[in-house]
Amino acid sequence: MNAILLRQAFRQTSRKANALTFQPVHSHRNALASAWQTANRSAGFRSSSVSKQQFLNASQEDFKKAISKEDSVVLVDFYADWCGPCKMLSPILEKLTDESADCRTGSGREVDLVTIDTDAHGELAAKYQVTALPTVIAFKDGEPADKFRGALPESEVRKFLERL
């Protein structure tokens, strides 16, 4: 299944990148790397037997479902595929919220992750006044609790989580 998603994403990425003058594909290696990222984001929802969840490249419905969980902390990462700092921050957030990671907030809650592509869901970005990328908003019990902008190193993201 991932191979099919990868091929489809490769075709879409190649067409898109070649059609846009500001984001050319210089080699098949770059296109393949971009396709791999797109395919992995397109895989969407991942969950485990524990309560940690990741909604990657989430729809509005997934977003609403994820943040509405009581007694949970959800990091919502507003990103764009063309954003360099977003590409640096994304693996850190995914690592910290992965089902095998033992990362919790200062209050002991587990952390879920939702990623929102601002190019596809600009209305959500506008609703939460996202003016810079990446922007990460932490939701506690369905309400925005805190946020940060820019690509932070893992140690700073951990400090951010400890404050929640």
Cβ–Cβ under 8 Å, residues 130 and 121: no
Q: What is the pLDDT of residue 51?
A: 54
pTM for this predicted structure: 0.69
Written as one letter, the residue type at 37 is Q
Shared domain for 77 and 20, answered yes or no, is no
Shared domain for 121 and 132, answered yes or no, is yes
Shared domain for 14 and 68, answered yes or no, is no
Domain count, the chain: 2
Catalytic entry in 86, 124, 125, 161: 86
Q: What is the pLDDT of residue 99?
A: 72
103 is catalytic: no
86 is catalytic: yes
Q: What is the pLDDT of residues 51-110, one digit of tens each?
A: 578 889 999 999 999 999 888 899 999 999 999 999 999 999 999 998 767 778 888 888
Shared domain for 23 and 53, answered yes or no, is no
Distance CA 137, CA 139 (A): 6
Domain containing residue 93: CATH number: 3.40.30.10
43 closest CA partner among 32, 33, 54, 52: 54
Q: Can you give the residue range of the structural domain that contains 59?
A: 45-162
State the Cα torsion 64-114-153-102 to the nearest 10°. 100
Catalytic entry in 9, 17, 31, 83: 83
